[in-house]
Homo-oligomer: A and B are copies of this chain.
Amino acid sequence: MPSINENYLKLEKNYLFINIAKKVNAYKAAYPDADIIRMGIGDVTLPIAKCVVEAMKKGADEMGVKETFRGYEDSGAGYDFLREAVSGYYKSFGVEIKPEEIRINDGAKSDCGNIVDIFGDDNTVLITDPAYPVYVDTNLMNGRKVIYADSNEGNGFAAMPDDGVHADLIYLCSPNNPTGSAYNEQQIKAWIDYALKNKAIIIYDAAYEAFITEEGIPRSIFAVEGARKCAIEMCSLSKTAGFTGMRCGYTVIPDELTVTASDGSEVSVSQLWGRREGSKFNGVSYPVQCAAAAVFTDEGIRQTRENIAYYQENARIIASAMDELGIRYTGGKNSPYIWLKCPNGMGSWEFFDFLLEKANVVGTPGAGFGRNGEGWFRLTAFGDRERTKEAMQRLKDVLGK
């Protein structure tokens, strides 16, 4: 009989969103007329930009005609037209990435999860806490030792490296999910210095970069000196262009990023990853790649930034309500998330119940993202404008003096 990967049995069952759904459903069963406003799940709600839809339809049409039909993609790394578009996008904010350093994927989650396949199971992995659960789970699945860097009220939920601790792989997410905090250039530089000193590799999740508005907050780790020698960056069109249901992202591995094998040979990380993907991935759907390329045209940037601006205004409305209520929070600028301290000393789940029952508003208990999340709570700006305003009015009604 096949043995199983026993590491799976050690994973904590992630009941966060299941528990939320259970509680909401139970409440709805008891109060069928309740007008519940959902500000919990990190999913977008605005439709895909028209020019992006049209590009996908054009790609679909091409698939229906023999002369323009596309079968397997040669490399599986993405069509040149899209890799060049992503390279051009990086250039638009001053970062030089060659198209050959970019691999197109079906969303950042896949690559975030799969990248660890190319590393040994004996590595020590450093993850900031709270964090997106994928970083932790995918390493526990291989039995790797995971250590944490605390993001907390004291450091503005922006964990910084501790020189007394050694790590081989480091996960950073900025702007951060769930805390909405964003590293400035000096903070990223400190992490790069730490990585170079430890000869570690940083896996940098830039999925929320499109929300950055402030000067001095880098939109890519490669905007900061030294990153090309120690970092892999993952990004996605999910939040940039509403692609949560379209599925397209990209991973950047600089040419010069290498690791030393046990026989002393220098191994290119990009080549290792290409070997993995060559055996386990066959590229992204052609019409999806056409849609993704349209995101990076002038018209695509214009249309998608309108959606981002809409969410940013929602975030400002939420942040302003928090200010009015005297509730501490991070995020709200440079991020679609508002990470707030539960008022009156409530725990995360206690506040969840309170908000559901008193205001019919659903958010996400911070405790679901790691131990530093206890006592904190995430609200998202991805909802409808009027509903967001309504939710904030309800919060003021139940929490105001």
Contact = CB atoms under 8 A, between A and B. Distances in A.
A175 B338 CA distance: 54
Contacts of A280: 109-110, 113-114, 134, 138
Given A61-B57, A119-B2, A247 B141 contact: no
Interface in A117-136: 117-123, 133-134
Interface stretch (A85-93, A258-266, A318-326): A258-266
A275 interface: yes
A53 B64 CA distance: 6
B63 A45 contact: no
Contacts of A48: 60, 63-64, 69
Contact of A285 (B49, B281, B288): B288
Contacts of A371: none
A65 B47 contact: yes
A262 B109 contact: no
Interface string A1-41: 11111101101001000000000000000000000000001
**Copies of this chain, how many?**
2
A297 interface: no
Contact of A279 (B49, B70, B113, B242): B113
A283 B247 CA distance: 8
A48 B64 CA distance: 5
A287 B56 contact: yes
Contacts of A109: 280-282
Given A60-B60, A110-B281, A47 B71 contact: no
Interface string A99-110: 000000011011
Contacts of A53: 60-61, 63-64
Contacts of A173: none
Contacts of A5: 117-121, 272
A295 to B, nearest CB: 13
